[in-house]
Chain A
Amino acid sequence: MRYIIEHETILEYPQGVREHHVELRLAPRSDGHQRVISCVIESEPTAERASYTDYFGNRVDYFCVIPLHNRLVTRLRSEVETLKENPFNFEAVTPAQEDLWLCDAVLRSPPLNDFILHRSLLTLPVIKLAEILRCAVPKPDRSRPLLESLLELLAWVPTVLEYRSGTTEVHGALTTAVQQGSGVCQDFAHLFITVARSWGIPARYVMGYLDPGISAEDEKLATHAWAEALVPGAGWIGFDATHNLLANDHYVAVAVGRDSYDAAPQRGSFKGDFSGEQPTVTVTMQEQ
């Protein structure tokens, strides 16, 4: 599939701010599953931009606006071709060999430890999760392929959380969502990640876009979030717990990280009064 994505963020500061530094993780990833055909990022006021690749392999574009300003707009326009028609298309490893495959992957690439060991308010220790839920958290059945257990986990997440927008905050603690039994895609992804990590499976957070034709969320289009788990034989596979779907060519991945904080599309620091107003975000995604 080919998509044109536009993503605009407007930040307004009635009192004015200055020395404003911004980091954007907006450029879609280029990997075996998607190809970036074009990617244009701009800002208002205009600024000289530079970029680097962060620890998680995300492209970061950054710039600064030094003089006093009341408004900052950032825009992305990107055309992406997605290639992953069938996420099940891989050579499976026998259940007996799966542990070995994972151990070997982690040995060769120590940074994978982050996606197993990391715990935060967003990705809880699973003991705390069980305490809040007052029920058992799913466990993998090691006699069957890991993917089957992960698919069961994928189906379990929506039994714990109901999708309700506005019930949790951006980078909000997972306990809040679990206690109230509702949240948004970010919380669904964190819940999946939390349990997968407790099984010793590397799991990471993905921020990106989902084809609006697939999205069941009957509301304004925004960025989407899902989880990826390292599946023996396959590599990273995307698990969209919000829709109980595996990520395929309807998904465009932008940034990954240990949790939503690492993969936030925009981060900034400035001097001046912040009135606390939310940014205005407009996303469009059109199939070509």
Chain B
Amino acid sequence: MYNAGMQGSKPRTPYHEFYADDFTPRDHYRLLWDHIRATGNNALEAKAHESQLALQAEGVTFTVYGESEEGIERIWPFDLIPRIITAPEWVKIESGLKQRVRALNLFLGDLYGDQKIIKDGVIPPELIYQGRDFRREIVGIVPPRGIYTHVSGIDIIRDEKGEFLILEDNLRTPSGVSYMIENRVIERRILPEFFNKYRVRRVEHYPSLLLAALRALSPRGAANAEIVLLTPGIYNSAYFEHTFLAKEMGVELAEGRDMVTVNDIVYLKTTTGLQRVDVIYRRIDDDFLDPLVFRSDSSLGIAGVINAWRAGNVAIVNAPGSGIADDKAVYPYVPDIIRYYLGQEPILNNVPTYQMTNVKDREYVFDNMERMVIKAVSESGGYGMLMGPSSTPALRKEFVDLVQENPRNYIAQPVVYLSRHVCYMDGELEARHLDLRPYVIYGDDIEVVPGGLTRVALRKGSLVVNSSQGGGSKDTWVLAE
């Protein structure tokens, strides 16, 4: 993929989203900047306090897992200063994401079908056959209209030059969209005057977009769609989001034990008897979805649901097997996947990536570990990751062993100094690194909700933005013009 030696050793300055230089804000931030300077820190403090109260009152929480199994529920961390994306910037992001999601769905259909891309030598077979998330159980099943990932959350970062790069595709059960909406609700309350001045595009219609996409998949027709959001339960870190989306869409929230498959039809057990289910928006992983087919020890899923899906009696969103397309070892091939299926150059580039199965790449990474991020390919949420710059020699040694034991399971990327933005932290305006997760819905067409979840690394200098690793968030304003 990349040649060793591409990393210069000169110190690099991250891109600043807010400031053009030490004294001037970028044009699209000027209104906000003027306002902050005019009202001063006391006004900001009052607004920060107001946002905290609102989050508490709304019960916007998330769960962090650490050493203990239980997990701790915390109030969602929100920074009141919005992140603004201009209309031309958004055009590029939007078209790049549509292109990527279209190509990845064609890729999935091919992998679970003829595997032309392997036969043509574009993708090495080991990558797929040794991937934990290639699901042999669904080979030959074609989901409605060949769509696998009805909901994607794709992580984008901005490098030192300000170029938007794709960091990660999340095609399984991406979370965070409820926080995108809650952030907007809070922001509208505390900075109402700016929403007129700035012509910020709406994001609150996300649940209705998702609902329309789910309805359209109903085997009995959209008018009769009985939709269920399948949650693993209250101990899941995204349970808040599951309840939020079920409520917003007006669909049932259920656990696997609330459902039963009878002769290839899935039913919800209700007080008035069994009620047929047409569409399952599942927020549990493939592994746990059907104990008859996948992990037999799972008590979270619905036995027989895969056979019902094969029979065409129920739709599952996202389709089982989607995870192989966001496997981090497949990620370096996504630009080639776009070229192969669409005959186009990628609009948004990847972050340079080293494959640990490649001996040269591996040696280079071992020699430069302080400047690398090493990631386990099937993990997400910042788990199973080594951040080179802040790592200890002992941890680096541990990762060398892990990589050598199972090279297919790891990739490495040079640390990208994520762009920065001002945040209001304990009475001061401070710069913090951030990324962006926009949400893409693939229904009748591919639609990117104008906005997304901007995640902020709250610790000074930190490049880890995951909520599970102590990240915060901002409202994201995509401008109409």
Q: Shortest CB–CB separation between residue B140 and chain A, in angstroms?
A: 7
| B-binding residues in A (CB < 8 A) | 19, 21, 23, 48, 50, 52-56, 62, 64, 66, 106-108, 110-111, 113-114, 117-118, 267-271
Which B residues touch A23, using CB under 8 A?
A: 292-293
Least distance between A255 CB and chain B CB atoms (Å): 14
CB-CB under 8 A from A19, the residues of chain B are: 260, 303
Given A21-B292, A52-B307, A267-B292, A113–B126 Cβ distance below 8 Å? Answer: yes
Find the A residue at minimum CB distance from B126: A117
B residues within 8 A CB of A118? 129
Given the complex of chains A and B, what is the CA–CA distance between A118 and B136 in angstroms? Answer: 13
What is the bound-complex CA distance between A170 and B351, given in angstroms?
Answer: 46
Whether A64 and B130, one on each chain, are in contact in the complex, defined by CB atoms closer than 8 angstroms, is no
CA distance A108 to B119 in the complex (A): 7
Please determine whether A64 and B263 come into contact, CB atoms closer than 8 angstroms: yes
Q: Find residues 209-266 in chain B having any chain A CB closer than 8 Å to their own CB.
A: 257, 260-264
Whole-angstrom distance between the alpha carbons of A263 and B52 in the complex? 56
Report which of A53, A62, A110, A268 forms a contact with B115, defined as CB distance below 8 A.
A110
In the complex with contacts A19-B303, A21-B292, A62-B307, A55-B140 CB distance below 8 A? yes
* Cβ contacts under 8 Å, A271 to chain B: 257
Q: Does B125 make an interface contact (CB < 8 A)?
A: yes
CB–CB B119/A107 < 8 A = yes
Chain B min CB distance to A273 (Å): 13
CB of B98 within 8 A of chain A?
no
- Residue count of chain B within 8 Å CB distance of chain A: 27
Query: Would you list the 4 A-B pairs with minimal beta carbon distance, nearest first?
Result: A269-B303, A55-B136, A21-B303, A113-B129
A52-B307, A110-B119 known; A21 vs B261 contact (CB < 8 Å): yes
Q: Is the CB of B264 within 8 A of A50?
A: yes
**With contact pairs A66-B260, A110-B118 given, residues A269 and B129 touching in the complex (Cβ less than 8 Å):** no
9 CB-based A-B contacts, threshold 8 Å: A50-B311, A56-B136, A64-B262, A110-B118, A110-B129, A118-B129, A269-B292, A269-B296, A270-B303
Q: Tell whether, in the assembled complex, residue A52 and residue B125 are in contact, meaning their CB atoms are under 8 Å apart.
A: no
- Please, which residue of chain A has its CB at the minimum distance from the CB of B297? A269
Q: Is B139 an interface residue (CB 8 A)?
A: yes
Give the interface centre of B129, B139, B140, B261 by most chain A CB atoms within 10 Å. B129
Q: Are B129 and A117 in contact (CB under 8 A)?
A: yes
Chain A residue with minimal CB distance to B304? A21
Partner of A52, one of B118, B260, B262, B310: B310
Task: Name the B residues within 8 Å of A50 (CB-CB).
Answer: 263-264, 307, 311
**B88-118 residues at the A interface, CB under 8 angstroms:** 115, 118
B261 near A269: Cβ-Cβ < 8 Å: no
Q: Whole-angstrom distance from the CB of A141 to the nearest CB of chain B?
A: 26
**Whole-angstrom distance between the alpha carbons of A53 and B139 in the complex?**
10
Indicate if the CB atoms of A269 and B118 lie closer than 8 Å: no
| Structural contact, A55 and B292, CB atoms closer than 8 A | no
Cβ contacts under 8 Å, A117 to chain B = 125-126, 129-130
Residues of A within 8 A of B140 (CB): 53, 55
Nearest chain B residue, comparing its CB with the CB of A106: B125
Cβ of A247 to closest chain B Cβ, rounded Å: 24
Q: A64-B263, A66-B262 are in contact. List 11 more A-B contacts (CB 8 A).
A: A19-B303, A21-B303, A50-B263, A50-B307, A50-B311, A53-B140, A64-B262, A113-B125, A268-B292, A269-B291, A269-B296
CB of A69 to closest CB in B, whole Å: 15
Chain A CB within 8 A of B379 CB? no
A248 to B469, CA, bound (A): 60
Q: Tell yes or no: B34 within 8 A of A by CB.
A: no
Can you list, as one digit per residue, whether each of B115-139 has a CB less than 8 Å from chain A (1) or not (0)? 1001100000110111000001101
Contact A64 B125 (CB under 8 A): no
Expressed in whole angstroms, the Cα–Cα distance for A108 and B125 within the complex equals 12
Restricting to B444-471, which residues have a CB under 8 Å from any CB of A? none
